[in-house]
Amino acid sequence: MEKEFYARVFEEVLRLTNDGFIVVDDKAVVIDINDSYSSFLGRKKEDIVGNPITDFIPNSKMADIMKNEYKEELVLHKYQPGYIKDSANDFVLVSRTYVKDSGGNIIGGVAQVHFREQAVSTARRMIKEYNELEFLREQYKLLSNSQPGLKDIIGKSDIILNKKREAMQAAKTNFPVLITGESGTGKEVFARIIHCSGHRRGRPFVGVNCAAIPSELLESELFGYEEGAFTGAKKGGKKGKFIQADGGTIFLDEIGDMPLLMQAKILRILQEKEVDTIGGSEPIPVDVRIISATRRNLEQMVEDGTFREDLYYRLNVINLHLPPLRSRVEDIPPLVQYFIDKLNEEYKLNVEIDKEVIEAFCKYSWHGNVRELENVIKGAYAVCDGLEIISTDLPAKFGIVVTDKSNVDKKISFGSSEKNIDALNIVEEVHSIGSMKKYLAEKERGIVLSTYERFRSVRKAAEYLGMSMPTYARKLQFYRD
For residue 159, what are the β-bridge partners? none
pLDDT the model gives residue 423: 60
Structure confidence by residue, pLDDT tens digits, 22-56: 999 999 999 999 888 888 888 898 999 999 999 99
Q: How many helices (H) and strands (E) does the chain have?
A: 20, 16
pLDDT the model gives residue 417: 45
Structure confidence by residue, pLDDT tens digits, 357-394: 999 999 999 999 999 999 999 999 998 887 889 888 88
Residue 406 has pLDDT above 50, yes or no: no
Range among 91-100, 191-200, 235-244 rated most confident? 191-200
320 φ, ψ (degrees, to nearest 5): -125, 105
Residue 481 has pLDDT above 80, yes or no: no
Compute the distance between CA of residue 417 and CA of residue 427 in angstroms, rounded to an integer. Answer: 15
Confidence grade of residue 409 (pLDDT, cut at 50, 70, 90): very low
Compute the distance between CA of residue 309 and CA of residue 321 in angstroms, rounded to an integer. Answer: 19
Confidence grade of residue 76 (pLDDT, cut at 50, 70, 90): confident
b/e string for 69-105 if b means 16 or more Cβ within 10 A? Answer: eeeeeeeebebeeebbeeeeeeebbbebbbeeeeeee
Structure confidence by residue, pLDDT tens digits, 98-149: 999 888 899 999 999 887 555 555 555 665 666 666 655 655 454 444 556 6
Confidence grade of residue 416 (pLDDT, cut at 50, 70, 90): very low
Structure confidence by residue, pLDDT tens digits, 212-239: 888 878 888 899 888 766 666 677 788 8
pLDDT the model gives residue 238: 84
Using alpha carbons, select from 138, 250, 233 the residue that is nearest to residue 194: 250
Domains identified in the chain and CATH numbers: 2-121 (3.30.450.20), 150-323 (3.40.50.300), 329-480 (1.10.8.60)
What is the mean pLDDT of the segment spanning 293-303? 95
Contacts of 363 (CB under 8 A, 6+ apart): none
pLDDT the model gives residue 127: 55
CB 9 within 8 A of CB 101: no
Is this model's pTM higher than 0.85 or not?
no
